[in-house]
Chains A and B, each alone.
Chain A
Amino acid sequence: MTRTNLDILINGERHQILIEPHWTLLHVLRSVVGMMGTKENCLEAECGVCTVLLDGKSVNSCILLAGQTAGRSVTTIEGIGNPEHLHPLQAAFIECGAVQCGYCIPGMILTAKSFLDENPGRRQSRDEIREAIAGNLCRCTGYRKIVDAVALAAERMSVAGAKP
């Protein structure tokens, strides 16, 4: 099968990558670009650990063909904050102790970010938050602290009124 050139923005940086047509975005991120923050598990869009943002919206990178993302902008967990400047969601997850093994967290944070960005400046109810993260499984935490963390970040982001 013919290799093609994929022109793609990853965390703001332009990449040109030679891809096979059947490669998924997840495969490109982990095995070609070496961004290991995006996790790999079910490969069937059931668990959410592979979640990244495509043009700002959460998607399961495990069933998205890399070729479908040509010319678009991808954000991984590596792209939304750094140890000096944490994203409000990252800070809230730490403060609320919403982390056990951490495997689900990149996907949780990116899913929550996509959801909160849809309604900037609006507080979200716990039910809305639960519904928003339904596509992300966590084996360890029991979700309560995760919902606490998203609610805290939503509260702070709504007060700040703007994105960081």
Chain B
Amino acid sequence: MSFDLHRPATISEAIGLSTRLAPAARYIAGGTDLVIQINRKKVFPDHLIDLGQLPGLAGVAETAGGYSLGSLTTYRSIELHPAFQGNLSGVIEAARVVGGHQVRNVATVGGNIVNASPAADFVPALLVLDAELELTGPAGNRIVALRDFVVGPGRTVLGPAEIVTSIRFARLPDRSATAFLKEGRRKAMEISVVCVAACLTLDESGSSCASARLAVGAAAPKAMRPQQAEAYLLNRPPGRVSFAEAGRLAAESSAPISDVRASAEHRRHLVAVMVERALTACHQRILEQGR
């Protein structure tokens, strides 16, 4: 392991360094993915550019339309943030399953997205919120939808020297709830065999689904939105029958692999069961809000 560590004080300094040192430079945030990849000799950067001191990149802000998470926000600060206690509790549920406390105190949400692991837990939780990323690079700022950002295992549309600066999503309408479920081989400290996020909104009467968004991690080369399942639920009554059918459709559109942790068949079965459970949890939460 040998590299130089740079600690820029501003975003433009970081981008300048990265442009000058490309392609031998990598950004580092918490380092919980990157340092292990370097130790395992999977990547060999000559230069690491630490984003940790850049101002304004950590923390949660409430905006006119919704929320903005700085890319350097840690899971632990999300878990403890009051903004997510209500109908965004799925965000907390996803933050809570990443590693142990020690990892969650340093690992960042931006690092999870850019690392682009098919099993990244926080990505599905953000996908169901239709999250957008703000990127800053040599040519200025641009906005990219999260669903277009990751293109495959370890691959994203991030341009040279670009930094993910923030992640944004809108506030949810009334009668909405979110949920996140993870299945690993053991309860803690294990990467997902399958993870599922759901965001459900009911119409005013509460008797049909006004919107249903689903995301599944670790069941395809990248986290996916099972569109047939989402479309099926539209305008249907919420409940066991429709949620089970949505689970079946989601499993059908998944493309899992077999590996040491689970067979493709087992993963597909998990998708069906977990989608149904996540939707049931959302429904239950909406009913509880109404009381």
A interface residues (Cβ-Cβ under 8 A, vs B): 1-2, 4, 20-22, 24, 43-46, 48, 51, 54, 57-60, 63-65, 67-68, 70, 111, 114-115, 118, 131-136
Measured between beta carbons, the chain B residues less than 8 angstroms from A1 are: 2-4
B interface residues (Cβ-Cβ under 8 A, vs A): 1-5, 7, 28, 31-32, 35-36, 38-39, 48, 50, 52, 76, 80, 96, 99-103, 105-106, 187-189
Q: Are B31 and A63 in contact (CB under 8 A)?
A: yes
Q: Which residue of A lies closest to B107 (CB)?
A: A45
Measured between beta carbons, the chain A residues less than 8 angstroms from B80 are: 118
Q: Are B76 and A57 in contact (CB under 8 A)?
A: yes
Q: Are A59 and B106 in contact (CB under 8 A)?
A: yes
Q: Whole-angstrom distance between the alpha carbons of A101 and B48 in the complex?
A: 38
Q: Are B102 and A111 in contact (CB under 8 A)?
A: yes
Q: Are B188 and A68 in contact (CB under 8 A)?
A: no
Nearest-neighbour CB distance to chain B for A56, whole angstroms, equals 10
Interface centre among A22, A24, A118 (most CB of B within 10 A): A22
Q: Which residue of A lies closest to B79 (CB)?
A: A118
Given contacts A64-B106, A115-B101, contact A70 B7 (CB under 8 A): yes
Q: Are A22 and B189 in contact (CB under 8 A)?
A: no
Q: Are A136 and B3 in contact (CB under 8 A)?
A: no
Measured between beta carbons, the chain B residues less than 8 angstroms from A134 are: 100-101, 187-189
Q: Are A65 and B103 in contact (CB under 8 A)?
A: no
Nearest-neighbour CB distance to chain B for A60, whole angstroms, equals 5
Q: Are B2 and A45 in contact (CB under 8 A)?
A: no
Nearest-neighbour CB distance to chain A for B103, whole angstroms, equals 6
Q: Are B35 and A135 in contact (CB under 8 A)?
A: no
Q: Whole-angstrom distance between the alpha carbons of A22 and B5 in the complex?
A: 8
Measured between beta carbons, the chain B residues less than 8 angstroms from A64 are: 31, 35, 106
Measured between beta carbons, the chain A residues less than 8 angstroms from B39 are: 43-44, 63
Nearest-neighbour CB distance to chain A for B248, whole angstroms, equals 32
Given contacts A58-B105, A68-B52, A131-B188, contact A45 B5 (CB under 8 A): no
Nearest-neighbour CB distance to chain B for A45, whole angstroms, equals 6
Given contacts A1-B3, A134-B188, contact A68 B50 (CB under 8 A): yes
Determine which of B7, B32, B102 lies in contact with A51 in the assembled complex, contact meaning CB atoms within 8 Å.
B102
Measured between beta carbons, the chain A residues less than 8 angstroms from B35 are: 24, 63-65
Q: Are A45 and B103 in contact (CB under 8 A)?
A: yes
Q: Could you name 25 residue pairs across A and B whose Cβ atoms are closer than 8 Å?
A: A1-B3, A21-B48, A22-B3, A44-B36, A44-B39, A45-B100, A57-B76, A58-B101, A58-B105, A59-B105, A59-B106, A63-B31, A63-B36, A63-B39, A64-B31, A65-B28, A65-B31, A65-B35, A67-B50, A68-B52, A118-B80, A132-B101, A134-B187, A134-B188, A135-B99
Q: Are A22 and B105 in contact (CB under 8 A)?
A: no
Q: Whole-angstrom distance between the alpha carbons of A49 and B76 in the complex?
A: 20
Measured between beta carbons, the chain A residues less than 8 angstroms from B50 are: 65, 67-68
Q: Are B48 and A114 in contact (CB under 8 A)?
A: no
Measured between beta carbons, the chain A residues less than 8 angstroms from B101 are: 58, 111, 114-115, 132-135
Q: Are B76 and A135 in contact (CB under 8 A)?
A: no
Measured between beta carbons, the chain B residues less than 8 angstroms from A133 are: 100-101
Measured between beta carbons, the chain A residues less than 8 angstroms from B3 are: 1, 21-22
Interface centre among B38, B101, B105 (most CB of A within 10 A): B101
Given contacts A1-B3, A22-B3, A44-B39, contact A58 B102 (CB under 8 A): yes
Q: Are B4 and A63 in contact (CB under 8 A)?
A: no
Given contacts A134-B188, A136-B100, contact A114 B105 (CB under 8 A): yes
8 A-B pairs with least C-beta separation: A135-B100, A134-B188, A21-B5, A22-B1, A67-B5, A57-B105, A63-B35, A60-B102
Q: Whole-angstrom distance between the alpha carbons of A67 and B99 in the complex?
A: 23
Nearest-neighbour CB distance to chain A for B117, whole angstroms, equals 15
Q: Are A68 and B105 in contact (CB under 8 A)?
A: no
Given contacts A43-B39, A45-B36, contact A135 B102 (CB under 8 A): yes
Nearest-neighbour CB distance to chain A for B116, whole angstroms, equals 19
Measured between beta carbons, the chain A residues less than 8 angstroms from B76 are: 57
